[in-house]
Amino acid sequence: MEGKFDKWDERFMKLAGEIAQWSSCFQPNRKIGAIIVRNKRIITTGYNGAPAGVESCVEREECIRRNLGIPSGTKHELCFAIHAEQNAIIQAAKLGISIEGAVMYCTHQPCVICAKMIVNSGISRVVYKEGYPDDFALRIFEMAHVALEKYQA
C-alpha cells in the first residue's frame, strides 16, 4: 500500500537510513535500519547485527549466508545477525517501554518473522522504503490489520 507521506515520515525514513549504516552485516546491500516512533518521538532504534558478545560478520570478514548460497528471504535462522526490526523491539522491551500504537520506519519491508513480532508488539503502522522477497509477511500484516506502507518521497 502506498500512502500520503508528510515531513515527519521523510525525517524518520532518512534517520532509518542513517541507523542502517551502523549495521555489522558484511554485505553492503544488506545494511538495514529501523526506528520505532510514537507521537513524533523516537522510542528506539535498531540495525541488523550480531547479538551482544558474538563476533559480527564484519569482524569475521565473511557472510555465512553468502558462503552457503542462501537466497535472500529464506532460512533466516542461518545468519549471525538479528534483524533491525527485532533489535528495535528488543530494545523497547529491555528498557520497559510500551510500543503499543507506535509506528515503525524501516529501510526494507520486514520479513515474516519480524512481521509476527511487529504485530504482537502492538505496532500499528509500518513504513518501509525497499521491498523484500517475502509475500507471506505481507499477508500477516494484512490479516492483522497493521498498516504497511511503501514510502514514496
For the annotated catalytic residues, the residue numbers are: 85
Here the cell at position 44 is 528506539
Lookup result for grid cell 558462503: 67
Here the cell at position 1 is 500500500
| DSSP bridge partners of 106 | 34, 128
DSSP H/E element including 46: strand 41-47
Burial call 95-119: b when 16+ CB within 10 Å, e when fewer: eeeebeebbbbbbbbbbbbbbbbbb
